[in-house]
Amino acid sequence: MSDLAPSSSSMPDPALFRAELLDRKAHLRAAQARMPQVAEVSRLLREIDAALGRLNDGSFGLCAVCHDAIEADRLRADPLTTLCLDHLTPAQARALEGDLELAVRIQTTLLPARHVSLGGWDAAFVYEPAAIVSGDYCDFISVGGSLVFLLADVSGKGVAASLLMSHLHAIFHTLVPMGLPLTQLLEHANRVFCESTLPSHYATLMCGRASPTGEVEVCNAGHCPPLVVRDDETSVIAPSALPLGFFADSRYATETIRLAPGDTLLLYTDGLTEALDASGRDYGVERLEGRVKALQHEPVTHWPRLVLDDVSAFRAAGQRHDDVTVMALRRKA
Protein backbone atom coordinates (compact mmCIF):
# COMPACT_ATOMS: atom_id res chain seq x y z
CA MET A 1 0.00 0.00 0.00
CA SER A 2 1.38 3.37 -0.87
CA ASP A 3 -1.07 6.16 0.07
CA LEU A 4 -2.50 7.50 3.34
CA ALA A 5 0.14 5.90 5.51
CA PRO A 6 2.95 7.49 7.43
CA SER A 7 5.50 5.73 5.26
CA SER A 8 7.15 2.84 7.03
CA SER A 9 10.26 3.19 4.92
CA SER A 10 11.11 6.69 6.10
CA MET A 11 13.42 7.25 9.06
CA PRO A 12 11.34 7.40 12.28
CA ASP A 13 11.66 10.18 14.84
CA PRO A 14 14.97 9.95 16.80
CA ALA A 15 13.04 10.94 19.95
CA LEU A 16 11.05 7.69 19.65
CA PHE A 17 14.28 5.68 19.39
CA ARG A 18 15.70 7.50 22.41
CA ALA A 19 12.57 6.77 24.45
CA GLU A 20 12.63 3.13 23.42
CA LEU A 21 16.33 2.73 24.19
CA LEU A 22 15.92 4.37 27.61
CA ASP A 23 12.99 2.07 28.31
CA ARG A 24 15.03 -1.00 27.35
CA LYS A 25 17.90 0.26 29.48
CA ALA A 26 15.65 0.57 32.54
CA HIS A 27 14.42 -3.00 32.03
CA LEU A 28 17.95 -4.30 31.62
CA ARG A 29 19.15 -2.45 34.74
CA ALA A 30 16.36 -4.15 36.71
CA ALA A 31 17.33 -7.50 35.18
CA GLN A 32 20.99 -6.90 36.02
CA ALA A 33 20.12 -6.33 39.67
CA ARG A 34 18.30 -9.68 39.74
CA MET A 35 20.98 -11.66 37.85
CA PRO A 36 24.34 -9.84 38.06
CA GLN A 37 26.24 -12.93 36.87
CA VAL A 38 24.65 -12.93 33.36
CA ALA A 39 27.22 -11.38 30.99
CA GLU A 40 24.64 -10.99 28.19
CA VAL A 41 22.80 -8.32 30.18
CA SER A 42 25.98 -6.25 30.63
CA ARG A 43 26.81 -6.62 26.93
CA LEU A 44 23.32 -5.37 25.90
CA LEU A 45 23.59 -2.44 28.32
CA ARG A 46 26.90 -1.45 26.68
CA GLU A 47 25.27 -1.67 23.22
CA ILE A 48 22.33 0.47 24.34
CA ASP A 49 24.69 3.11 25.74
CA ALA A 50 26.58 3.08 22.44
CA ALA A 51 23.31 3.57 20.52
CA LEU A 52 22.33 6.46 22.81
CA GLY A 53 25.79 7.93 22.14
CA ARG A 54 25.14 7.68 18.38
CA LEU A 55 21.81 9.48 18.86
CA ASN A 56 23.71 12.26 20.65
CA ASP A 57 26.46 12.68 18.05
CA GLY A 58 24.12 12.34 15.05
CA SER A 59 25.56 9.08 13.71
CA PHE A 60 22.56 6.95 14.76
CA GLY A 61 21.03 5.02 11.84
CA LEU A 62 24.16 5.35 9.69
CA CYS A 63 26.18 2.33 8.59
CA ALA A 64 29.50 2.10 10.43
CA VAL A 65 31.25 1.03 7.19
CA CYS A 66 29.78 3.17 4.39
CA HIS A 67 28.03 5.88 6.48
CA ASP A 68 24.87 5.56 4.34
CA ALA A 69 21.50 5.28 6.07
CA ILE A 70 20.63 1.86 7.46
CA GLU A 71 17.31 0.50 6.09
CA ALA A 72 14.53 2.05 8.26
CA ASP A 73 12.60 -1.22 8.69
CA ARG A 74 15.71 -2.97 9.98
CA LEU A 75 16.55 -0.13 12.32
CA ARG A 76 13.04 -0.16 13.71
CA ALA A 77 13.23 -3.91 14.29
CA ASP A 78 16.67 -3.60 15.91
CA PRO A 79 17.77 -0.10 17.00
CA LEU A 80 21.16 -1.54 18.03
CA THR A 81 22.11 -2.45 14.47
CA THR A 82 25.12 -0.55 13.07
CA LEU A 83 25.52 -1.98 9.57
CA CYS A 84 23.50 -1.58 6.36
CA LEU A 85 22.46 -4.70 4.42
CA ASP A 86 25.45 -4.38 2.08
CA HIS A 87 27.95 -4.44 4.94
CA LEU A 88 26.71 -7.22 7.18
CA THR A 89 29.37 -9.73 8.20
CA PRO A 90 29.05 -13.10 6.36
CA ALA A 91 27.61 -14.66 9.54
CA GLN A 92 25.06 -11.84 9.92
CA ALA A 93 24.10 -12.12 6.24
CA ARG A 94 23.57 -15.89 6.59
CA ALA A 95 21.43 -15.37 9.70
CA LEU A 96 19.32 -12.75 7.90
CA GLU A 97 18.86 -15.01 4.89
CA GLY A 98 17.72 -17.78 7.22
CA ASP A 99 15.24 -15.43 8.90
CA LEU A 100 13.81 -14.33 5.56
CA GLU A 101 13.46 -17.90 4.30
CA LEU A 102 11.60 -18.68 7.50
CA ALA A 103 9.36 -15.61 7.03
CA VAL A 104 8.49 -16.78 3.49
CA ARG A 105 7.73 -20.30 4.75
CA ILE A 106 5.48 -18.93 7.50
CA GLN A 107 3.66 -16.63 5.08
CA THR A 108 3.15 -19.41 2.55
CA THR A 109 1.47 -21.58 5.18
CA LEU A 110 -0.98 -18.72 5.91
CA LEU A 111 -2.36 -18.63 2.37
CA PRO A 112 -5.53 -20.58 1.52
CA ALA A 113 -5.74 -23.21 -1.23
CA ARG A 114 -5.21 -21.62 -4.69
CA HIS A 115 -8.64 -22.76 -5.84
CA VAL A 116 -11.70 -23.15 -3.67
CA SER A 117 -15.01 -24.67 -4.71
CA LEU A 118 -17.65 -24.34 -2.02
CA GLY A 119 -21.36 -23.65 -1.51
CA GLY A 120 -22.03 -22.93 -5.17
CA TRP A 121 -18.93 -20.74 -5.62
CA ASP A 122 -15.60 -21.12 -7.39
CA ALA A 123 -12.79 -18.89 -6.21
CA ALA A 124 -9.10 -18.43 -6.95
CA PHE A 125 -6.29 -15.96 -6.31
CA VAL A 126 -2.71 -15.05 -7.15
CA TYR A 127 -0.43 -13.50 -4.57
CA GLU A 128 2.77 -11.73 -5.57
CA PRO A 129 4.99 -9.99 -3.01
CA ALA A 130 6.99 -7.02 -4.34
CA ALA A 131 9.94 -8.18 -2.25
CA ILE A 132 10.38 -11.40 -0.31
CA VAL A 133 7.24 -11.27 1.82
CA SER A 134 3.96 -9.44 1.27
CA GLY A 135 1.73 -7.16 3.34
CA ASP A 136 -1.38 -8.41 1.55
CA TYR A 137 -3.76 -10.71 3.40
CA CYS A 138 -5.90 -13.03 1.33
CA ASP A 139 -8.20 -15.72 2.66
CA PHE A 140 -11.15 -18.02 2.08
CA ILE A 141 -12.88 -19.41 5.17
CA SER A 142 -15.88 -21.73 5.07
CA VAL A 143 -18.58 -21.16 7.69
CA GLY A 144 -22.06 -22.73 7.88
CA GLY A 145 -22.18 -23.57 4.15
CA SER A 146 -21.16 -20.02 3.14
CA LEU A 147 -17.81 -18.83 1.88
CA VAL A 148 -16.19 -15.90 3.67
CA PHE A 149 -13.59 -14.19 1.48
CA LEU A 150 -11.13 -11.56 2.67
CA LEU A 151 -8.59 -9.38 0.94
CA ALA A 152 -6.63 -6.80 2.93
CA ASP A 153 -3.69 -4.51 2.25
CA VAL A 154 -1.61 -3.66 5.30
CA SER A 155 0.16 -0.28 5.60
CA GLY A 156 3.89 -0.43 5.05
CA LYS A 157 6.02 -3.03 3.33
CA GLY A 158 8.35 -5.93 3.90
CA VAL A 159 8.72 -8.01 7.02
CA ALA A 160 6.92 -5.50 9.28
CA ALA A 161 3.84 -5.55 7.01
CA SER A 162 3.99 -9.33 6.72
CA LEU A 163 3.78 -9.59 10.53
CA LEU A 164 0.55 -7.57 10.43
CA MET A 165 -0.69 -9.83 7.65
CA SER A 166 -0.15 -12.88 9.88
CA HIS A 167 -1.89 -10.98 12.65
CA LEU A 168 -5.01 -10.46 10.51
CA HIS A 169 -4.92 -14.15 9.59
CA ALA A 170 -4.99 -15.11 13.28
CA ILE A 171 -7.78 -12.60 14.06
CA PHE A 172 -10.09 -13.79 11.26
CA HIS A 173 -9.42 -17.49 11.77
CA THR A 174 -10.46 -17.00 15.38
CA LEU A 175 -13.52 -14.81 14.72
CA VAL A 176 -15.05 -16.15 11.48
CA PRO A 177 -15.89 -19.66 12.81
CA MET A 178 -17.96 -17.97 15.56
CA GLY A 179 -20.56 -17.23 12.87
CA LEU A 180 -21.10 -13.58 13.90
CA PRO A 181 -23.01 -11.21 11.60
CA LEU A 182 -20.55 -9.52 9.24
CA THR A 183 -20.85 -6.08 10.90
CA GLN A 184 -20.02 -7.56 14.31
CA LEU A 185 -17.23 -9.68 12.89
CA LEU A 186 -15.54 -6.56 11.49
CA GLU A 187 -16.13 -4.48 14.61
CA HIS A 188 -14.48 -7.17 16.74
CA ALA A 189 -11.63 -7.63 14.28
CA ASN A 190 -11.04 -3.87 14.16
CA ARG A 191 -10.93 -3.57 17.95
CA VAL A 192 -8.47 -6.43 18.33
CA PHE A 193 -6.33 -5.03 15.50
CA CYS A 194 -6.40 -1.51 17.05
CA GLU A 195 -5.45 -2.76 20.47
CA SER A 196 -2.52 -4.82 19.28
CA THR A 197 -0.85 -2.57 16.69
CA LEU A 198 0.79 0.84 16.57
CA PRO A 199 -1.51 3.78 15.74
CA SER A 200 0.29 4.25 12.43
CA HIS A 201 -0.63 0.74 11.29
CA TYR A 202 -3.87 0.00 9.51
CA ALA A 203 -5.29 -2.28 6.85
CA THR A 204 -7.79 -1.65 4.08
CA LEU A 205 -10.05 -4.66 3.80
CA MET A 206 -12.67 -6.08 1.49
CA CYS A 207 -14.67 -8.78 3.20
CA GLY A 208 -17.72 -10.73 2.06
CA ARG A 209 -19.85 -13.73 2.87
CA ALA A 210 -21.15 -15.58 -0.20
CA SER A 211 -24.13 -17.82 0.43
CA PRO A 212 -25.32 -20.71 -1.78
CA THR A 213 -28.41 -18.67 -2.81
CA GLY A 214 -26.21 -16.15 -4.68
CA GLU A 215 -26.54 -13.45 -2.03
CA VAL A 216 -23.25 -11.86 -1.05
CA GLU A 217 -23.04 -9.62 2.00
CA VAL A 218 -20.05 -7.32 1.59
CA CYS A 219 -18.19 -4.60 3.42
CA ASN A 220 -15.55 -2.47 1.79
CA ALA A 221 -13.40 -0.97 4.56
CA GLY A 222 -11.38 1.61 2.64
CA HIS A 223 -10.20 -0.91 0.06
CA CYS A 224 -9.93 -0.38 -3.71
CA PRO A 225 -13.42 -1.05 -5.08
CA PRO A 226 -13.90 -4.64 -6.31
CA LEU A 227 -15.58 -5.17 -9.67
CA VAL A 228 -18.89 -6.98 -10.01
CA VAL A 229 -18.77 -8.41 -13.52
CA ARG A 230 -22.11 -9.45 -15.02
CA ASP A 231 -23.05 -10.43 -18.58
CA ASP A 232 -24.26 -6.96 -19.50
CA GLU A 233 -22.53 -4.59 -17.08
CA THR A 234 -19.65 -4.06 -14.69
CA SER A 235 -20.11 -2.18 -11.41
CA VAL A 236 -17.98 -1.54 -8.33
CA ILE A 237 -18.42 -1.99 -4.58
CA ALA A 238 -17.50 1.42 -3.17
CA PRO A 239 -15.94 1.81 0.28
CA SER A 240 -18.52 2.16 3.07
CA ALA A 241 -16.25 2.07 6.13
CA LEU A 242 -12.82 3.11 7.39
CA PRO A 243 -9.85 0.76 7.18
CA LEU A 244 -9.17 -1.51 10.16
CA GLY A 245 -6.86 -0.02 12.77
CA PHE A 246 -7.89 3.66 12.60
CA PHE A 247 -10.43 3.96 15.44
CA ALA A 248 -11.38 1.24 17.91
CA ASP A 249 -15.09 2.11 17.83
CA SER A 250 -15.52 2.23 14.03
CA ARG A 251 -18.78 0.88 12.59
CA TYR A 252 -18.81 -1.41 9.58
CA ALA A 253 -21.86 -1.03 7.35
CA THR A 254 -22.52 -3.88 4.94
CA GLU A 255 -24.59 -4.20 1.78
CA THR A 256 -26.01 -7.27 0.15
CA ILE A 257 -25.71 -7.89 -3.56
CA ARG A 258 -27.09 -10.81 -5.56
CA LEU A 259 -25.01 -12.60 -8.14
CA ALA A 260 -26.57 -14.70 -10.89
CA PRO A 261 -24.91 -17.92 -12.03
CA GLY A 262 -21.83 -16.97 -14.05
CA ASP A 263 -21.43 -13.51 -12.43
CA THR A 264 -17.96 -12.79 -11.09
CA LEU A 265 -16.48 -10.68 -8.31
CA LEU A 266 -12.94 -9.43 -8.85
CA LEU A 267 -10.97 -8.19 -5.84
CA TYR A 268 -7.48 -6.76 -5.98
CA THR A 269 -4.97 -4.71 -4.00
CA ASP A 270 -3.84 -1.28 -5.19
CA GLY A 271 -0.50 -2.65 -6.40
CA LEU A 272 -2.52 -3.79 -9.44
CA THR A 273 -4.18 -0.56 -10.60
CA GLU A 274 -1.22 1.57 -9.47
CA ALA A 275 1.31 -0.43 -11.49
CA LEU A 276 3.30 1.99 -13.65
CA ASP A 277 4.64 1.54 -17.15
CA ALA A 278 8.07 2.83 -18.15
CA SER A 279 6.62 6.29 -18.91
CA GLY A 280 5.00 6.58 -15.47
CA ARG A 281 1.32 6.04 -16.47
CA ASP A 282 -0.68 3.84 -14.11
CA TYR A 283 -2.61 0.72 -15.13
CA GLY A 284 -5.84 2.14 -13.73
CA VAL A 285 -9.37 0.89 -13.16
CA GLU A 286 -10.63 1.56 -16.70
CA ARG A 287 -8.03 -0.67 -18.25
CA LEU A 288 -8.85 -3.35 -15.67
CA GLU A 289 -12.55 -3.15 -16.53
CA GLY A 290 -11.76 -3.50 -20.21
CA ARG A 291 -9.56 -6.52 -19.50
CA VAL A 292 -12.14 -8.40 -17.43
CA LYS A 293 -14.86 -7.87 -20.05
CA ALA A 294 -12.66 -9.78 -22.45
CA LEU A 295 -12.30 -12.59 -19.91
CA GLN A 296 -16.04 -13.31 -19.51
CA HIS A 297 -15.81 -16.80 -20.95
CA GLU A 298 -12.57 -17.85 -19.30
CA PRO A 299 -12.78 -20.18 -16.28
CA VAL A 300 -12.69 -18.08 -13.11
CA THR A 301 -9.71 -20.06 -11.86
CA HIS A 302 -7.69 -18.51 -14.72
CA TRP A 303 -8.82 -14.93 -14.08
CA PRO A 304 -6.30 -13.82 -11.45
CA ARG A 305 -3.34 -15.01 -13.52
CA LEU A 306 -4.73 -13.56 -16.78
CA VAL A 307 -5.33 -10.18 -15.12
CA LEU A 308 -1.85 -10.18 -13.62
CA ASP A 309 -0.28 -11.15 -16.96
CA ASP A 310 -1.95 -8.11 -18.52
CA VAL A 311 -0.52 -5.87 -15.79
CA SER A 312 2.96 -7.36 -16.30
CA ALA A 313 2.70 -6.72 -20.06
CA PHE A 314 1.57 -3.14 -19.35
CA ARG A 315 4.37 -2.55 -16.87
CA ALA A 316 6.95 -3.94 -19.30
CA ALA A 317 10.21 -2.28 -18.23
CA GLY A 318 8.51 -0.31 -15.43
CA GLN A 319 9.61 -1.06 -11.86
CA ARG A 320 7.53 -3.09 -9.42
CA HIS A 321 6.86 -1.17 -6.21
CA ASP A 322 4.03 -2.83 -4.39
CA ASP A 323 2.64 -6.22 -3.44
CA VAL A 324 -0.16 -7.42 -5.71
CA THR A 325 -2.98 -9.84 -4.97
CA VAL A 326 -5.88 -10.62 -7.29
CA MET A 327 -8.87 -12.70 -6.21
CA ALA A 328 -11.82 -13.85 -8.34
CA LEU A 329 -15.05 -15.43 -7.14
CA ARG A 330 -17.80 -16.73 -9.43
CA ARG A 331 -21.23 -18.14 -8.75
CA LYS A 332 -21.34 -21.54 -10.40
CA ALA A 333 -23.64 -22.01 -13.34
Residue 75's Cβ-count burial label (10 Å; 0-12, 13-18, 19+) is: buried
Question: Among the residues of the chain, which ranges form H helices?
Answer: 14-34, 39-57, 72-77, 90-109, 158-175, 182-196, 270-273, 284-293, 303-315
Closest CB 94 distance from Zn ion, rounded Å: 17
Nearer to Zn ion, 92 or 200 (CB): 92
Q: What residue is closest to Zn ion based on CB?
A: 63
277-285 own/partner pairs: CB under 8 Å, 24+ apart: 277/314, 277/315, 277/316, 277/317, 277/318, 278/316, 278/317, 278/318, 280/318, 283/311, 283/314, 283/315, 285/225, 285/236
Shortest Cβ 118–Zn ion spacing (Å): 50
Closest to Zn ion by CB, 66 or 278:
66
Q: Smallest distance from the beta carbon of 104 to Zn ion, in angstroms?
A: 25
Task: Report whether 206 contacts 192 (CB < 8 A).
Answer: no
Of the pair 70, 192, the CB lying nearest Zn ion is at 70
Work out how close the CB of 15 gets to Zn ion at its nearest, in angstroms, rounded to a whole number.
Answer: 25
Please check whether residue 135 is in contact with residue 154, taking contact to mean a CB–CB distance below 8 angstroms: yes
- Which lies closer to Zn ion via its Cβ, residue 69 or residue 102? 69
Q: Cβ of residue 65: shortest distance to Zn ion, in angstroms?
A: 5
- Smaller CB separation from Zn ion, 83 or 257: 83
Q: Distance between CA 110 and CA 322 in Å, rounded?
A: 20
Distance CA 160, CA 51 (A): 22
Which chain residues interact with Zn ion by CB under 5 A? Answer: 63, 65-66, 84, 87
* Cα–Cα distance for residue pair 193/166, rounded to 1 Å: 11
The candidate with the shortest Cα–Cα distance to 288, out of 308, 305, 302, is: 308
CB of 75 to Zn ion, least distance (A): 13
Pick 66 or 80: Cβ nearer Zn ion? 66
In the Cβ-directed half-sphere of 83, how many Cα atoms lie within 13 Å? 11
Q: How far is the CB of 63 from Zn ion (least distance, A)?
A: 3
Nearer to Zn ion, 94 or 173 (CB): 94
